[in-house]
Structure 1
Amino acid sequence: MKKQDPRFKIAHREALIGVALAVVHFIWWFGFAYGLGSRPVEEYTYIFGLPDWFFYSCVVGFILICITVILLAKFVLKDVSFEEEDMK
């Protein structure tokens, strides 16, 4: 029986991290966009000239996701060689 390449285990783990990050980002965006955005326009509050639902869902959400991706890439994800000879 052929032994499975250990890079597949790393790739699967990192793929799950990427999917989880996308799901969390969508929940963040959806919660603020449709939670705060479902009010009548007259009840909106504004931050830097943007409706609060847009500011929290798109601006803050984007900044948080960027920071999270940077931290994940720096501290969690692993650098894996694609060269076949490195795995011997």
Structure 2
Amino acid sequence: MKPLTTEEVESQLKELDNWNFEDNQIKKDFSFDNFKEALAFMVKVGFEAEDLGHHPNWSNVYNSVSIKLNTHDADNKVTKKDIQLAKAIDKIYKNN
């Protein structure tokens, strides 16, 4: 998979909800009312990621989830696959 240029990533970020691009990855922090909601979100994202064959770098502390996306097979750079997963994650968060 071919990495996106910086300009392409920045253009794609306009279609996402508050994702940031730095250190060759796109990232976003999510907040929830409690741990159960954060965990449920992670499970839903996990199923979507598996369906897309792409998996996030993420962490969870109590009611927050931090997600970072880049493509390991593309020299750890951002690809269309990352943008696709970020869009799916935003949709899951909005419907959570």
TM-score (norm 1): 0.34
Larger RCO (alpha carbons 8 Å, 6+ apart): 2
If each structure's strand is expressed as a fraction of its own residues, which one has the higher value? 2
Structure of greater Rg: 1
If each structure's helix is expressed as a fraction of its own residues, which one has the higher value? 1
